[in-house]
Chains A and B, each alone.
Chain A
């Protein structure tokens, strides 16, 4: 679609002959969806080709029609590192990956720690992005973990949640105050889990592989220690807390316990930690360097089990674009992170094809759960819900070719991998923002 179309009301669309899957209502049935004025006007088995009327008719040929994905952890380079990724390029990648809402991290330059910067992101997104963009605000100024930001004003400006980005707040008192103060504004605190002193100098998971490669390790305890502390502070303050990405079995056990205690605690996991492990680093492949680090196969299995059991609430892409200047370096010196918007769904479907996680459970962690946590109307197929949805071909295999990715940065951990299943059509607010037939690739 072209940018000049964005301000015209979208044409009505009728998706027919689809397999409708809506995790929030446990719907999985044949039928269609009628979209008018950017919202879902009607849905169900009675929406057929004959009922389309004026609407543009899309025959889904039995493919899955589901809510668009909501990705709670996306880094772009805007502002400050636009050569890596802009909101515009990230949104094109998102559209092609079936992600209709991106929640972007405040780790930019400058850091999103001021209401004016939240406003900047929202305006830039309105003018340049194809999908919904919600910025998260910083919990502390400059993400330094010392002074609390104007959490109330950030919220009013449109910060959907607050986070200290890719760093943990090391000071327990600051963390306590952030949780307590944010509670008054109903704000969700999303936290990165990494004890800075234990993780210092570490570049990958601690253990045999790191020892063989001669690389410094980061023990899983660096994550669990922060998580356990945070749970105590949630108990103390009652603040809403979301562990952004867990990566180890020990952390999963802590989350389970916190949930049993009835605390307002949830957690996410990155697609990387669900589908890759430390062995993938092989001989120093820097595209597999990330934070938290890829853990053991045993930990990966735990992440998959936690997702299947519903203990892990959310899957994120952890999209983190990095240029060659950051990645074509010796492992210890290379930048962390991998792009993930365009491979999120295909990689997640591996878990479905393997029989590890049911399709509706997988989609729930990518749609209804993040929507619920963030208080978004989207993430469901329901009458009057925003018309953010995707048509998915579950079975067609494809090979990830980095040069064909829409992201400005090509640092994909799935370089050359075969994935099975892809997005055919992406609709945001009733507009088709991606159509595989017109625009194949990656």
Chain B
């Protein structure tokens, strides 16, 4: 909650002409991305710069991983450059935690495999709170590829903790085994899963899922699980439509729904910067001073 309040302040700051603070002056922030990302990486970069940090972006493509350097060697190498903050995204679950054990600085998880994406959940919670005033008691339907989604897992954890009723809606092949044990209601029909929902959160569907025969075709997926106005009509009239991006228009979401007044997808991006500023500020208070 304190983080969300801090994020609100950061959101205010980001709308001013002068967006600069000096919380992180003299500090070095490294964005270490083992997996391509546009919005997460750029919003961490902006957040760091607005707080006065020196920001360096490192993209470690798979080719250099294949050269044989292990994650731990990479971590040790970077650690020797004495960064204060390390923002890490990795394609493997648990990799960020493993890396954090090997470095001295603060590490922020910017997404690890299908495990977690905590700042995404925070920015989603912030966006919801700005529109609904609170999160407690809201019905949130998370729809789509839950099996592979770190966004879904982090949102389930955070929104549950904040008192929301969380549902997941997906075909059985895209539901993770035992997901109901995470405190969610499970639906395999959008019609039922979206009934009276306050929030409809769509997840990105990757094309690989069709190759591995988890779903038969894009056409069939959109027919049953793509968010269009008809399915959205099942939700509350003032329901918010969310998507962590990047969207596949016409696959998991109808283009017109994505651009509808109920869609807060662009605001999610704006809150992304604010939340990441708040996270960095909160960590800055705990950085060693000498």
Chain A residues at the B interface, C-beta cutoff of 8 Å = 206-217, 219, 283-284, 325, 328-333
- Chain B residues with Cβ below 8 Å from A209 are 178
A214 touches B177 (CB 8 A): no
- Kindly identify, within residues 61 to 102 of chain B, every residue whose CB is under 8 Å from any CB belonging to chain A: 70-72, 90, 92-95, 97-98
Cα(A329)–Cα(B69), bound, Å = 11
Whether the pair B70, A214 counts as a contact (CB closer than 8 A) is no
Q: Name the one of A207, A213, A325 contacting B94, with C-beta atoms under 8 angstroms.
A: A213
The interface residues of chain B lying within 8 Å CB-to-CB of A213 are: 93-94, 115
- B175 CB to nearest chain A CB (Å): 9
Q: Nearest residue in A to B72 (C-beta to C-beta)?
A: A328
Contact call B94/A211, Cβ cutoff below 8 A: no
Do B182 and A208 have beta carbons less than 8 Å apart?
Answer: yes
The 8 A CB mask of B212-239 against A (1 = contact, 0 = none) is: 0000000000000000000000000000
Within the assembled complex, what's the spacing in Å between the Cα atoms of A209 and B90? 20
CA distance A325 to B73 in the complex (A): 11
Residues of B within 8 A of A325 (CB): 70
Contacts of B98 in A (CB 8 A): 284, 328-330
B112 within 8 A of partner (CB): yes
User: Known interface pairs A213-B115, A214-B150. Does A331 touch B92 (Cβ–Cβ under 8 Å)?
Assistant: yes
B160 to chain A, nearest CB (A): 13
If A329-B70, A329-B71, A332-B113 touch, whether A214 touches B93 (CB-CB below 8 Å) is: yes
**Does B286 belong to the interface (CB within 8 Å)?**
no
Q: Which 7 A-B pairs have the closest CB atoms?
A: A214-B115, A208-B178, A284-B94, A330-B92, A214-B114, A214-B93, A330-B95
How would residues 106 to 144 of chain B score, 1 for a CB under 8 Å from any chain A CB and 0 otherwise? 000000111110000000000000000000000000000
Determine the chain B residues whose CB is within 8 A of the CB of A329 once the complex forms: 70-72, 98
Q: Is B161 an interface residue (CB 8 A)?
A: no
Give 25 A-B contacts (CB < 8 Å), ordered by A residue: A206-B177, A208-B181, A210-B176, A210-B178, A212-B153, A213-B93, A213-B94, A214-B112, A214-B115, A214-B150, A215-B93, A215-B94, A215-B115, A217-B177, A219-B177, A284-B97, A325-B70, A328-B72, A328-B98, A329-B71, A329-B98, A330-B71, A330-B94, A332-B113, A333-B92
Partner among B93, B150, B153 whose Cβ is within 8 Å of the Cβ of A332: B93
Q: A331 touching B70 by the CB < 8 A rule?
A: no
Chain B interface size, under 10 / 10 to 19 / 20 to 34 / 35 or more: 20 to 34
Which of A206, A208, A219, A284 is close to B93, meaning CB atoms less than 8 Å apart? A284
Q: Which residue of A lies closest to B146 (CB)?
A: A211
Which of B72, B115, B177 has the largest number of chain A CB atoms within 10 A? B177
B190 CB to closest chain A CB (Å) equals 22
- Taken together as a complex, chains A and B put the C-alpha atoms of A209 and B182 apart, in Å, by 10
Residues of chain A within 8 A of B95, CB atoms compared = 330
Give the chain A neighbours of B116 by CB distance below 8 A.
214
A216 contact set on B, CB distance < 8 A: 114
As a 0/1 sequence over residues 175 to 191 of chain B, the CB contacts with chain A under 8 angstroms (1 = contact) are 01111011000000000
Tell me which residues across on chain A come within 8 A of B115, comparing CB atoms: 213-215
Interface centre among A209, A211, A325 (most CB of B within 10 A): A211
CA distance A284 to B113 in the complex (A): 13
Q: Residue on A with the closest CB to B181?
A: A208
Given A215-B93, A217-B177, A328-B72, 4 new contacts (CB under 8 A): A207-B177, A283-B94, A332-B93, A332-B94
> Which label, helix, strand, loop or mixed, suits the secondary structure of the B interface?
mixed
Within the complex, the shortest CB–CB distance from A282 to chain B, in Å, comes to 10
CB–CB B150/A211 < 8 A:
no
B177 and A328 form a contact (CB under 8 A): no
Distance to closest chain B CB from A43 (angstroms): 53
Min CB distance B170 to A, Å, is 13
Q: Which residues of B contact A328 (CB under 8 A)?
A: 70, 72, 98
**Residue positions of B touching A, CB distance < 8 A:** 70-72, 90, 92-95, 97-98, 112-116, 150, 153, 176-179, 181-182
Given A284-B98, A330-B92, decide whether A210 and B70 contact each other with a Cβ distance below 8 A: no
- Evaluate contact between B178 and A330: CB separation under 8 angstroms: no
- Pair B177/A215 contact, Cβ less than 8 Å: no
Whole-angstrom CA separation of A208 from B181 in the bound complex: 7
Instruction: State in angstroms the CA–CA spacing of A185 and B114 once bound together.
Output: 49
Query: Please, which residue of chain A has its CB at the minimum distance from the CB of B98?
Result: A330
Q: How far is the CA of A168 from the CA of B269 in the complex (A)?
A: 48
Alpha-carbon separation in the docked complex, A258 to B93 (Å): 40
- Docked Cα-Cα span, A206 to B179, in Å, equals 11
Tell me how far the C-beta of A377 lies from the nearest C-beta in chain B, rounded to whole angstroms.
47
| Chain A residues positioned under 8 Å from B112 (CB to CB) | 214
Given A211-B182, A214-B115, A284-B98, A330–B93 Cβ distance below 8 Å? yes
> Are the C-beta atoms of B176 and A332 separated by less than 8 Å?
no
- Which residues of chain A have C-beta atoms less than 8 A from B113's C-beta? 214-215, 330, 332
Q: How far is the CA of A330 from the CA of B114 in the complex (A)?
A: 13
Looking at A210, A219, A331, the one whose CB has the most chain B CB atoms below 10 A away is A331
Contact B177 A331 (CB under 8 A): no
Question: Given the complex, which residues of B lie within 8 Å of A211, measured CB to CB?
Answer: 153, 176-179, 181-182
Once bound together, how far apart are the Cα atoms of A219 and B177, in whole Å?
Answer: 9
Q: Which chain A residue lies CB-closest to B179? A: A211
A207 and B178 form a contact (CB under 8 A): yes
B270 CB to closest chain A CB, in angstroms? 27
Q: How far is the CA of A328 from the CA of B70 in the complex (A)?
A: 8
A305: min CB distance to chain B, Å: 24
Chain A: minimal CB distance from B90 (Å) = 7
Q: How far is the CA of A216 from the CA of B113 in the complex (A)?
A: 10
A210 to B115, CA, bound (A): 9
How many angstroms between the C-alpha atoms of A213 and B92 in the bound complex?
Answer: 11
A213 to B150 alpha-carbon distance, docked (Å): 10
Determine whether the beta carbon of A210 is less than 8 Å from that of B177.
yes
Residues of B within 8 A of A207 (CB): 177-178
Alpha-carbon distance between A284 and B92 when the two chains are bound, in angstroms: 11
Contact present for A283 and B153 (CB under 8 Å) = no
In the complex, A213 Cα to B153 Cα: how many Å? 9
Residues in chain A near residue B72, CB distance under 8 A: 328-329
A283: B residues at CB distance < 8 A: 94, 97
Closest beta carbon of chain B to A40's beta carbon, Å? 51
CB distance from A336 to the nearest CB of B (A): 16
A328, B95: Cα distance in complex, Å: 10
Assuming A328-B70, A329-B70, A330-B71, is B153 touching A214 (CB within 8 A)? yes
Among residues of A, the one whose C-beta sits closest to the C-beta of B176 is A211
> A325 to B70, alpha carbons, bound, how many Å?
8
Residue of B nearest to A201 (CB): B212
B68 to chain A, nearest CB (A): 9
Docked CA distance A332–B93 (Å): 7
Q: Which of A206, A210, A330 contacts B90 (CB 8 A)?
A: A330
Task: Across the interface, name the chain A residue whose C-beta is closest to B34.
Answer: A330
